[in-house]
Structure 1
Amino acid sequence: MPITPEPGTPETVHEEEPWLSSDEVAKLWPVRKDWLPGAARRADVRVRRSGGASRGTWGAEPTFYHFHPEDVRRAALAIAEGHVDIPSNWRTDTPDGRRTEFWGTLSARVAGTLFLAVLVCGVFLILGTVIFLLTVD
């Protein structure tokens, strides 16, 4: 009778190299993290996608991408040499890309600050209304 390992046990030495996450690929490629799947498609890199299932009215689950390590190394060289056509606003090493990243970050921070300001004002209005109603005869 053959001996089969338990489902959770790791494989032996012949196990393939683990696929790289978006964070790891972003360190190797001069491409903004949001555009890594698109750049991988242009560079013929194998990508595993997980998540992203629809939640109906509530949107979708987060989507996670993992990239084949050998393809990533091959594509890193091709991207550095300019053999892969990646739009300049996707890249982190061009003025267009840095400008796009700056304005995206700034707009997110301004929107977050405005949301918090509205939330704090709402809380103060509710507390003021409650205090006013409790003090009125």
Structure 2
Amino acid sequence: MNTSDPFEPRWRSVFDFRFGDFDYLGHMTATAYMMFFEEARVAWLSTSLGQQEPAYVVARQEIDFERELLRSDGPITIEIAVASAGHSRIDIHERLTSAHGRRHASSAASLVMWDRAQRRPRPCTEAEKALFATDA
């Protein structure tokens, strides 16, 4: 990692590949990247907040595919860093690295905390505000 890199991970998850993660060219599919990023977010929020199913929706997801990812590159690590947090929205940066320590993809995502009963955005709870604080 570059020491001037402002990315300071709050969470790190390691994943093994599954059969359906690869296409006929032998590299990981675009949808598999999205699934791994989502699984890492759920692990981070559920573990950190003590909730089995954290209530949020993905408002935006942007992925930069930087390097081909092959089955031999596994397992992979997803790291999550908080970029900013607002009333009901949090912006995060994510990166996916291989077992070889190379970055294969980076992501920017906006999550909106969700009220399941009202089916609309809700304010962050105090626990979420503490978790999302960018100076923590």
TM-score by length of 1: 0.20
Structure number with the bigger relative contact order (C-alpha 8 A, sep ≥ 6) is 2
Q: Which has the higher strand share?
A: 2
TM-score by length of 2: 0.20
Higher-Rg structure is: 1
